[in-house]
Chains A and B, each alone.
Chain A
Amino acid sequence: MTERLRFYQTGSFAVRNRLLPVVDASVQSDPGRANAITSGHRACQGCGEALGARYALDAAMRASGGRMVAVNATGCLEVFSTPYPETSWQIPWMHSLFGNAAAVASGVAAALRVTGRDDVRVVAQAGDGGTVDIGLGPLSGMFERNDDVLFICYDNEAYMNTGVQRSGATPPAARTMTTPAVGPHPGAPFGQGKDLPRIAMAHEIPYVATATVADLRDLEDKVTTAMSIRGARYLHVLVPCPLGWGSASRDTVRVARLATESGLFPVFEAHDGEVTSVTPIRRRVPVEDYLRIQKRYAHLFGEPPATGVIAHIQATADRNIRRYRIEEAPV
């Protein structure tokens, strides 16, 4: 987690603080950053996944001294970046299937190890579908074997690439193609879904963390920490999707910020299965502030509004805040 700097205008909240020494600057402020995924990709306007991937991989590139391979599952990130014959990747990058990114990455790591190339690091990345649903088996194996891979999940809370179907990471009440806003319980059901950061922690792997595109410094610090550790590591990044969430393209960072400030998306890190730091909430907001700016929740705000459902979602946020003791986190 980022040590917050208290002085000067923006402290460490913005991408750069011109009055801080260059060594404290973010990777993204560096004109020489790797730009792992460069311009010309076909992601939607304001895509959180494209942004999150560049943030994470550029930081991993710096941490590994540019000696790194990325393995990518099928999903938006793969499809919008590599339509033949073009690629946006400016790093060694490899794609196989939707469900096997963890297995392929384990294989790459093993191959590097047997050829004595353990200076080259391996990162695997997938969407939430590729992580929590179809890819969960290989991922759990990778965790259990403690393979030397950093697995990054870009969580946009549905199967976006194929047209917004519900995944095991879709939050309750959200409208998707497969959980339409009709009937007595519109949107995705309550009581289902998988909390992958906690599942990863249950494997007691060396490092598990969550982050969002709304807090660059925090994300970069977590990638850097992860890259300093050997073994299986898991980073879960919330990446809003303007298309699937029905939010304005300019609001991608704002939505992610409201997700954390409402308590719906707890930001923390855990070593060996134990939570070691929690990012505090600066200005707590009711979940309604977060829900209202997304069309996937529009059915909650009709006439009359679904106050019971909103209260249920609020209770989830409150529970997160209790569970991770967010209010006790040092500001």
Chain B
Amino acid sequence: MIELNGIEKSYGELKVLKGVSLSVAKGDVICIIGPSGSGKSTLLRCINYLEEPEAGEIRLDGKIAYRDIVRGRIVARPRAEIDATRREFGMVFQDFNLFPHMNVLGNVAEAPVRVRGLTRAEAERRGVALLDRVGLANKVDSWPEELSGGQKQRVAIARALAMEPKAMLFDEPTSALDPELVGEVLEVMRFLAAEGMTMIVVTHEMGFARQVADRVIFMDQGQIVEEAPPEQFFAAPRMPRTKAFLRMAQQES
């Protein structure tokens, strides 16, 4: 469903992605792990075009996304088309990024009203149902500042789901949380995975990757070093860099 071919991205002199290719089928859960600065966030942000890759192609359901080839030259599509493709992906950020000037239901209903043209009443009706699904039916009228980190992140997930995305991108969704709040967010993500949502998850939660992922990817220095099903990835990693990283991660926990 999502295909990346040779994605490259630099910031100035620094080459952050050096030709990343990845194929994600419908319903797949992919977990990406790797050291800080290896380009995991940048890769996610290229997928929904928050960052513009310099080279490579992104395909969604077989069709090249964001770009066109006109007379042999690659050109960006019009902004409106980019926005339209982008909303096929729901994104969840490390630091939530809830809109502080809207209450919980407002956060969830905003994009469906503005972007998909639902009436406010319809968007709110669906919003309440979504908030119920993430266990926050009683927080509909609360304000983001009144929520715990775990609750905020669950609202952020509901907000992304409200656009009915084809796939969800998670960028370290539990890294900013107090340890006791991590579980409630992972539980919602497990639930989503079980429902068949296509998910790409950047995470340090090895337990989650082991239990939920269909495939685990190790990224280092802008490249995919190793990609394998979790049993194999954790029990018998092939690459020395993966082994070293897993050993380090184990020592830390």
A binds B: no
